[in-house]
Amino acid sequence: MSPDAFNNLFSLLIGFAFAGALTSGYQAFVRRPAGFGLLQQGIAAASFAAVPFLMFAAPFIIMRNTLMGRRIERRRAEFVMMATVLAGFWSMMSGTVVLMTLHAMGVFA
């Protein structure tokens, strides 16, 4: 495996792990699952605070909603595949940001 492919895989995995940790922490703190409805609270500080949270938590929320929709609403496999690719790309990009931040702080070599 080339170093670039390994780096992309590691970014993907870190992105999904970070998204899962964020949404699990949110659910433990607020006692309800995180979702994109956080943006629909009107013009309030909570709506603006939800944007950075959802930037990193979105891959987990997309996959959770997709898999529940597949099971409950019998969504087509093509839709599930497309959502998985979208969540994977989003996860890789947010994982890259997390790794770059850790590298800049000197935590990760």
Q: Residue 79's domain spans which residues?
A: 3-105
Entry pTM: 0.86
CA–CA distance, 40 with 73 (Å, rounded to integer): 24
Low-confidence residues of the chain: pLDDT under 70 = 109
| Angle subtended at Cα 89 by Cα 86 and Cα 94, rounded to the nearest 5 degrees | 120
> What is the number of other CB atoms lying within 10 angstroms of the CB of residue 10?
14
- The DSSP secondary-structure symbol of 6 reads H
Would you say 43 and 32 are in contact if contact means Cβ atoms under 8 Å apart? Answer: no
Question: So what's the pLDDT on residue 1?
Answer: 84
Position 104 scores a pLDDT of 93
Helices then strands (H, E): number in the chain?
A: 3, 0
What pLDDT, on a 0 to 100 scale, did the predictor assign at position 43?
74
Q: How many domains does the chain have?
A: 1
